[in-house]
Amino acid sequence: MEGRLKKIPEGFVSYRFAAIVIASLFFASLAGWIAQELVPPDFVERRALYDASWRPGAARIVDLLDLHDPFRSLWYRFVLALFFAVLVACNVSRFRRIALRSLRAELPAGAEELRKRPLFFDLSWRSLTAGVKGAADPLVRYGERHGRRESVDPAALERLFARLEVLLKRRGLRVACARGGDAVRFTATSGRLRSPGTMLFHLGIAVITVGGLVGSLLGWRGMVYLKEGETAPLPPDSAAALRVDDFRIVTAGGGEIRDYISTVTILGERGETLAAGTIEVNRPFRHGGVNIYQSSYTMSEGEFARARISYRLRGEIGRRTAEMTSGSAAVLGDSAAVVSALRFLPDFRMGSQGAFSASPFPANPALEVEVSSSGEVRRGWLFLRHPDFNSRFGAGVDLALEGVEPVYYTGLEFASNPGVPVLFAGFAAATLGLLFMYLCNPRIIKGIATREGLLMAGVEGRWKASFAREFEEIRETIQREFDEGG
Amino acid sequence: MAHADTQLFWLAFWMYLVSFVLFTVFSAVKRRGAGLAATAVFAAAFVCHTGALAARWIATTHPPFSTMYEYAVTMSWAVALSFVVVLARFRRMALGVAVSPLLIVVLVVASLLPKEASKQLMPALQSYWFYIHVTLAALAEGAFIVAAGTGIVYLARRKGGGAKDVLPANDLLEEIVARAIRIGYPLFTIGAMFAGAIWAQYAWGRFWSWDPKETGSLVIWLYYTLVLHENMRGRWRGKKLAVAAIVGFALALLSFVGNLFLGGLHAYI
């Protein structure tokens, strides 16, 4: 393992290179984001048109760099692959060091190492135990100034160190120590899980990338629009079929859409029922490794299940209603007038080619009718949202569209993505890693307690200013707690 | 209760504006009284802001995240909350001079958006992942905005230097910027990226669609990943970190208002 790790070039796993790769992916994503907005979605289909209308060469650049679909382009995939490679290499190369560091604390090698730190103090036991009054003692001051410190016996050193250990533990620090040569070398640490957390987070991101790759290579998806009673083969095993038994648009009191619900049955080769259930938005139906999602709905132009019209004939005061189905006719009361439904448009618009539906959704439902009375035939449109518009049909007939029940087609999306479990594992690992990273406050304080005194240094803290404040507080606490002179 | 939320919103808006004026006066005259008054008005505005969100929640019967207006109000509340936390932790009132105008910018954007309340959540939003996703994303953006505000103070202090008495030391300012980013980053990663992806998987059957909003989130995430890496290796410290925090705010704002003209799966108004 060790030998293999050495084969990874140092530059490839350096922070510098990692930052360059992240910056590259950032700029590539930014460029893709901008390209997504600038290049029209129909660029491929209408390439000739854009070639003619844009500046010379612009369409060619878009084509060459795949800017019409930037996130599937070769250059973006290359940067993404590089990001993944660096991520994995960094994790592999740092694994041993991070694992060792989180398992055991490194003890200080010597006093010089600690004295080099910007945060350190070196106090004699005499000055600590004698407290403020004792430290003012001319004998103590003179001796300390000239490097002559009073020594405590080994048993007293043990007692003093035990008190120090309690103080450090009270601040949430874990103390590891080694005794030898009339001295105790110790390291007080906290938040040691931060480094494994960082690694777990990076590993999680790598796993998510793998999950995405697996999904894009092995996953598939498809979309069908079916109305009640219709069936469609269930991919990939086309021997099974999906039948839509019912599709409902559930509305709230104010008419807002609350849910779309499809009731479906999975049929076997001989038409036997294999499974049945409902599909709602956010609640997919799963069968044989295929997820079926309630994705959309549509309604067909011209087709409707039932329409209700109200009418008033000449000389009548009140209105009466009549119901029609697609292609049927209704006799208006006891008159000779007959109204026939010709065409239904869910989102009526008038264009140069005549009436058309701007969308498959009921934004402006309109019904084309033909009224024949006494040999006179009149055609016109009735609008659900504008009942008074275009309502007179000669022959003394006044019509209004009261309601129309379109034929809905439920939009179901089939998808199979074997990368999803991998992705979810990556999300879990990265989340756990983040929690370790951000809930742990890593601090390392190292020290050496000798028979003469105590040398302590703040080696590592996440926040420079806060750590300096905390180290100062520790020093003050030690001085206060060891003060025997009152 | 029908319009209580918008009335409280406007009350909070004007009070934040007053607190900004008072924070500016405090930075200029360096009188503790002005600072305390600014903080008190800010706290009162925060209470009204919280009340506006609560009233909206009661009126719509769902957490106020479903429209762009509601999200903007929630996000600005997260900014105010982050600032309150920073204020409680570091006791540096002068930071308000930069954080409150950024908060007002978000509130101005909110004030321009349609404010109609709907009791019914659209079907795609009826998922607990929606609440996790939006709450964490709003809190993260709140933290990023506080980082940007502190970054502005850092740059102003370096240039001006006249307001030495009330502004915190550079070390502390840098620590606040770094801390705010490091609080925002995991919230953004878990909330905006992971929770969003899991929810998308349940709702649409694909965890990632390269929708403009998703791409925008990825860009923001990569940006802050870069900032953290550069900060960790000792390059983006001090002034550079302050500038990076401000650029991050600009990216977050672009991604937020991008909804209005970029469309896509996140085009809720």
Q: Are residues A64 and A116 in the same domain?
A: no
Band the pLDDT of B47: cuts 50, 70, 90. Answer: very high
Answer whether A71 sits within 8 Å of B206, measured CB to CB.
Answer: no
- The residue of chain A nearest to residue B223, with distances taken between CA atoms, is A26
Q: Summarize pLDDT for A18-53 with one digit per residue, the tens.
A: 999 999 999 999 999 888 888 888 888 888 888 888
| Number of domains into which chain A is organized | 3
Tens digit of each residue's pLDDT (9 = 90 or more) over B79-113: 999 889 888 888 788 888 888 888 898 899 888 88
A367 and A412 inside one domain:
yes
Q: Confidence band (pLDDT; 50, 70, 90) for B260? A: low
Tell me if A205 is assigned to some domain: no
Alpha-carbon distances, residue A413 vs A213, A269, B74, B152 (angstroms) = 21, 21, 33, 48
Q: Are residues A85 and A115 in the same domain?
A: no
pLDDT in tens, A459-486: 988 777 788 988 999 999 988 888 765 4
For chain A, say whether B219 makes contact (Cβ under 8 Å): yes
User: Which residues numbered 121-160 in B keep a CB inside 8 Å of some CB on A?
Assistant: 122-124, 126-127
Q: What is the DSSP string of chain B?
A: -TTHHHHHHHHHHHHHHHHHHHHHHHHHH--HHHHHHHHHHHHHHHHHHHHHHHHHHHHHSS-TTSSHHHHHHHHHHHHHHHHHHHHHHH--GGGHHHHHHHHHHHHHHHHTS-----SSPPGGG-SHHHHHHHHHHHHHHHHHHHHHHHHHHHHHHHHT-TTTTTSPPHHHHHHHHHHHHHHHHHHIIIIIIIIHHHHHHHHHS-S----HHHHHHHHHHHHHHHHHHHHHTTSS-THHHHHHHHHHHHHHHHHHHHHHHH-STT---
Residue A423 placed within a domain = no
Is the same domain home to A233 and A381?
yes
Lowest pLDDT segment from A58-62, A165-169, B26-30:
B26-30
Residue ranges making up the domain that contains B216: 71-112+124-262
Does A15 sit within 8 Å of B189, measured CB to CB? no
The reported pLDDT for the residue numbered A265 is 93
Which is it for the CA torsion B237, B242, B244, B248, positive or negative?
positive
Nearest by CB to residue A32, choosing from B175, B182, B215, is B215
One domain for residues A370 and A467: no
Residue of A nearest to B169 (CA): A465
Nearest CB to A434 within list B175, B190, B219: B190
Q: How confident is the model over A312-340, as a mean pLDDT?
A: 81
Asked if the structure places residue B197 within a domain, the reply is: yes
- Is the minimum CB–CB distance between B183 and chain A shorter than 8 Å? yes
Long-range contacts of the stretch A167-174 (C-beta < 8 A, 24+): A167/A474, A167/A477, A167/A478, A167/A481, A168/A445, A168/A474, A171/A470, A171/A474, A171/A477, A173/A443, A173/A445, A174/A105
- Establish if A68 belongs to a structural domain: yes
Mean pLDDT calculated for residue range A275-301: 87
Q: Mean of the per-residue pLDDT values for chain A? A: 85
Place of tokens 């672009």: B254
Q: Residue A396: CB partners within 8 Å, gap ≥ 6?
A: A313, A314, A315
Is B220 domain-assigned? yes
Do the Cβ atoms of A431 and B194 come within 8 Å?
yes
Q: Is the pLDDT of residue A103 over 90?
A: no
**Together in a domain, A10 and A152:** no
Q: Is residue A84 part of a domain?
A: yes
Least CB–CB distance from A284: residue in B123, B205, B233: B205
What residues of chain B lie within 8 A of the CB of A254, using their CB? 118-120
- Least Cα separation, residue B122 to chain A (angstroms): 6
Say whether A37 and B172 touch across the interface (CB within 8 A).
Answer: no
Residues A474, A389: one domain? no
Q: B263 and chain A: CB distance < 8 Å anywhere?
A: no
In the sheet with A376-383, reading across from the earlier edge strand, the strands are A329-331, A338-345, A366-373, A376-383
What's the structural domain count of chain B?
1
* pLDDT of residue A94 exceeding 50: yes
CA distance B190 to chain A (A): 6
Q: Token pair of A344, please?
A: 């239904």
Q: Do B169 and A465 touch (CB under 8 A)?
A: yes
Chain A residue with Cα closest to B213: A33
CB contact under 8 A, B123 and A434: no
Q: Does residue B138 belong to any structural domain of this protein? A: yes
Tell me, yes or no, whether A428 lies in a domain: no
* Maximum average pLDDT range among A305-309, B44-48, B176-180: B44-48
Mutate to test the interface with B, among A22, A202, A412 (most CBs of B within 10 A): A22
A281: which 2 tokens?
């938005």
Taking an 8 Å cut-off on Cβ atoms, the answer to whether B222 and A212 are in contact is no
Q: Is residue A201 part of a domain?
A: no
Among A360, A382, A416, the domain boundary falls at A416
Within this chain, do residues A46 and A129 fall inside the same structural domain, yes or no?
no
CB proximity B90 to A under 8 Å: no
Interface mutation target, options A256, A285, A463, chain B, most CBs of B under 10 Å: A463
Question: Which residues face A276 on adjacent strands?
Answer: A265
Measured in angstroms, the CA of A191 and the nearest CA of chain B are apart by 16
Q: Is residue A271 part of a domain?
A: yes
- Contacts of residue A29 in chain B, CB cutoff 8 Å? 215, 218-219, 222
Residue A277: domain span:
220-416
Give the end of a domain, one of A37, A55, A89. A89
Structure confidence by residue, pLDDT tens digits, B162-219: 545 567 777 888 888 998 999 999 999 999 999 999 999 888 888 888 888 889 999 9
Q: Does residue A467 belong to any structural domain of this protein? A: yes
User: Do the chains contact at B222 and A25, CB–CB below 8 Å?
Assistant: yes
A408 and A277, same structural domain?
A: yes
Examine residue B60 and state whether it is found in any structural domain, yes or no: no
- 10 Å CB burial of residue A372 (0-12, 13-18, 19+) is middle
- The residues, ordered by sequence, that sit 6+ positions from B63 with a Cβ below 8 Å of its Cβ are B57, B131, B134, B135
Contact between B118 and A26 using a beta-carbon 8 Å cutoff: no
Q: Is residue B130 part of a domain?
A: yes
| A and B: number of Cβ contacts within 8 A | 120
Whether B124 sits inside 8 A of A281 (CB atoms) is yes
The answer to whether residue B203 is domain-embedded is: yes
> CB distance from B198 to chain A under 8 Å?
yes
A239 shares a domain with A342: yes
- Is the pLDDT assigned to residue A132 strictly greater than 80? no
Nearest to B123 among A15, A33, A258 (CB): A258
A351 and A227 in a single domain? The answer is: yes
User: Mind telling me how many Å the CA of A376 is from chain B's nearest CA?
Assistant: 48
Asked if residue A337 and residue A231 are part of one domain, the reply reads yes
Pairing of strands A376-383, A257-267: unpaired
Question: Does the residue B200 lie in any domain?
Answer: yes
Q: Is residue B191 situated within a structural domain? A: yes
Q: Alpha-carbon distance B159 to B2, whole Å?
A: 48
